[in-house]
A and B are shown apart, each in its own frame.
Chain A
Amino acid sequence: MTDSLGQQKPVNIKALLQACRSKEETFKALVTLSKTLPRLSAEKKTEENKVKGCESAVWLVVEESHGIRHFKADSDAKLMRGVLVAILSLVEGKMLADIQKMDLKAELAELNLSSYLTSSRTNGVLAILNKINTV
């Protein structure tokens, strides 16, 4: 998703995911989204930043300034990077109190990502949401 000048083109994440009519289309959309995620540097990929409960490695860095939350995340799995783009688009730049009022599971379901929300041990999206939501 870069233009001729190498700039990131904005992707309408919601429209892209909601247009998916099959598991395959969602897969391809997530691959597309994964390419828009800025990768974390090696020194940010610490044990502390690692989200426990994900079968793929996921790192989530939460920063807060003036009550506003900023998120950076990465994963060694591409689809998970796509899912992270979707999740962070919902919460980036919001106040913690506002994030806590959101029903993130429902919002992800609206993006056709509900199959990533099962509590099987193969995915840790719930663990990611938990970390996003906590003080």
Chain B
Amino acid sequence: MAFDPSSLRHLFPILAQSAYDHPLTYLDNAATTQKPLPVLDAIQDYYRSFNANVHRGAHFLSDRATNRFEQARDTIASFINAPEQSHVIWTKGATEAINTVAFGLEHLLEKGDEILITSLEHHANLVPWQQLAFRTGARLRILPLTSNGEWEPEFSHYFTDRTRIFAATQISNAIGVSTPLQTMLDHAKQQGAFTLVDGAQAVAHYPIDVQILDCDFYIFSGHKMYGPTGIGVLYGKSHALEVLLPYQTGGEMVRHVSYQATEFNVLPYRLEAGTPHIEGVIGLAAACDFLNAQDRLALLAWEQSLAMHVYSRLHKEGGIEIYSPEKNTTLVSLSVPNIHILDLNAYLDSQGVAVRAGSHCAHPLMAQLGVAGTLRASFACYNTMEEANRFCDVLLEAIDLLNDE
């Protein structure tokens, strides 16, 4: 039986409102998802029932907070099938997770080493590596999509004996294309490179198993998977996390401090300086529980069917360029020649339809596609077929209104 989004939509009270007298149609889920009641309740419950700083005070509330905080680490570890909970490091998001790795590996890089990324990367998985290359004299190399949006049949030559780091997104935030990750990771590992996978766009949709992926680092943010903002995860294999020099130092991450020296704490605390985002951690664990309680593959199939439906409707219309794949994606990214995406966006907004118009923090990819930006409708489990159709209807109205006579 097909998945019915009404089975969980009531858990997202924010969606039951009007925008400019139209039903709110929220299709900007790749930017951030809405949060279900269990997440909202968990955050409020934390402040109402067990707010205290973690890992310090030996008192009733602190013990409760610390227990729940470390239980949350277990929840996230099993959510991505990490072998040990100490492999899960809290960060403020995907960006901080990548920066933690980029700064942490700096001491291992030499002039002439290569850092390889793909042409699909969000700026968050590009700029930290570019800046690392500037600091160390390493060379940033790009494994490109071809002009027709395919991967080259033979890309192993991008992986050389100088490749020290390979970082790739699992799914492009801008155009919804998946990377042939397993093959790429195999090539990278053959060259002995550290491997990092940006799962920011994947975790809300795909069950993740970091042991099957077998990458050194897997990173994601909470707010794109029904969790709160300001919390993210850096998963790493033991040896990979162990070699990272802490990029932030201070309280919590130390075992002993004197004026002469500091002995750092063990993992995961060594990489978590300062009081953590406790409510975020609690909320993120609730988001994992929410997802675990669903039939994940049914949700994925539903989200993909919405994107496929939009693709098939708009593909038939002349004059719409679609950059996302026809299948196996949960978003549709498009542009209309001679009509500015901000104009399309403004009309969609006036009808209560929320999408994203812009470069999606991927300027080099947009340059490769030959556009300044695209209009992106991205789906989550609570979106309905009516909403997918409404996006198409309103977009076509907008094109009519904006087409020059």
Contact = CB atoms under 8 A, between A and B. Distances in A.
Interface of A: 22-24, 26-28, 31, 55-56, 76-80, 122
A68 to B, nearest CB: 32
B340 A77 contact: yes
A55 B401 contact: no
Given A76-B340, A77-B342, A28 B401 contact: yes
B402 A78 contact: yes
B404 to A, nearest CB: 9
Contacts of B402: 31, 78
B343 A79 contact: yes
B350 A23 contact: yes
25 contacts: A23-B20, A23-B349, A23-B350, A24-B20, A24-B347, A24-B350, A24-B351, A26-B350, A27-B346, A27-B350, A27-B401, A28-B401, A31-B401, A55-B358, A76-B340, A77-B340, A77-B342, A78-B340, A78-B343, A79-B342, A79-B346, A80-B340, A122-B342, A122-B357, A122-B358
Given A22-B21, A23-B20, A31-B401, A55 B350 contact: no
Interface in B7-39: 20-21
Interface in B331-387: 339-340, 342-343, 346-347, 349-351, 357-358
Nearest to B351: A24
A28 B402 CA distance: 9
A56 B342 contact: yes
Interface residues of B, number: 15
Contacts of A31: 401-402
B350 A77 contact: no
Contact of A56 (B20, B340, B349, B351): B340
A122 B340 CA distance: 13
Interface string B377-405: 00000000000000000000000011000
Nearest to B347: A27
Nearest to A30: B346
Contacts of A80: 340, 342
Nearest to B346: A79
A4 B358 CA distance: 39
Given A22-B350, A77-B342, 10 more contacts: A23-B20, A24-B351, A27-B346, A27-B350, A27-B401, A31-B401, A78-B339, A78-B402, A79-B340, A79-B346
A117 to B, nearest CB: 14
